[in-house]
Amino acid sequence: MSDEPTSVAAWEALFRAQVAVMRELGLDFPHDDISFNEYDVMYTLTRAVNRSLRLRDLNKNVLLTQPSVSRLVDRLAARGWVEKTPDPRDARGTIIRLTDAGHAAFYRVAQVHGASIARVVGRALEPDELVELTRLCNKLRAGITARRD
């Protein structure tokens, strides 16, 4: 277990790096097509089996609050990019599924965003550092998630 000053310094470095990266990525992000938050929801759905998740599971995996996710999902549904259906195993739940049209819209933006990420993050870190950063971030997230469960 690390001491408090070292933990705080690591957090500050991580947080400030994340803010700097997000600001830089925001300059190239195609906001006219979809918002960052819409992208986050659609990205999460692309990673799910059948591009579908229960709303409560979607809420756990995105960077928004539950009411914001519900409103955002309604906007995406109005555009035909997601479908909402009752959960056949639990009628209280809702399944959110990324449609083919939604996947196509996501993919178009992901091409631009992915190139921007490669440029911004890739110019700052060597390939082995990118692998290590991924490992450390996954370890940090898993350690926090495990404590909540």
Sign of CA dihedral 61, 64, 67, 70: negative
Question: Residue 66 pLDDT more than 70?
Answer: yes
Domain for residue 118, yes or no?
yes
Axis-axis angle for helices 100-124, 4-28 (nearest 10): 120
Instruction: Report pLDDT digits (tens) over 8-17.
Output: 999 999 999 9
3-state secondary structure of 32: coil
Amino acid letter for position 92: R
* Cα–Cα dist 54/85, whole Å: 9
Q: For the domain that residue 97 is a member of, what is the CATH number?
A: 1.10.10.10
Q: What's the domain range around 77?
A: 32-148
* Cα–Cα dist 84/75, whole Å: 11
Please, how many CA atoms are within 13 Å of residue 115, restricted to the half-sphere of its CB? 9
| Average pLDDT value over all residues in the chain | 91
Q: In what order do the strands lie in the sheet with 90-98?
A: 52-54, 90-98, 82-87
Instruction: Report pLDDT digits (tens) over 68-114.
Output: 888 999 999 999 999 999 988 887 889 999 999 999 999 999 999 99
Facing residues of 54 across strands? 95
Question: Residue 67 pLDDT more than 90?
Answer: no
- Which ranges of 29-99 does DSSP label H, i.e. alpha helix? 36-46, 55-61, 66-78
For residues 113-122, give the mean pLDDT: 95
Structural domain tally of the chain?
A: 1
Domain for residue 63, yes or no?
yes
Question: Residue 149 pLDDT more than 60?
Answer: no
Domain for residue 5, yes or no?
no
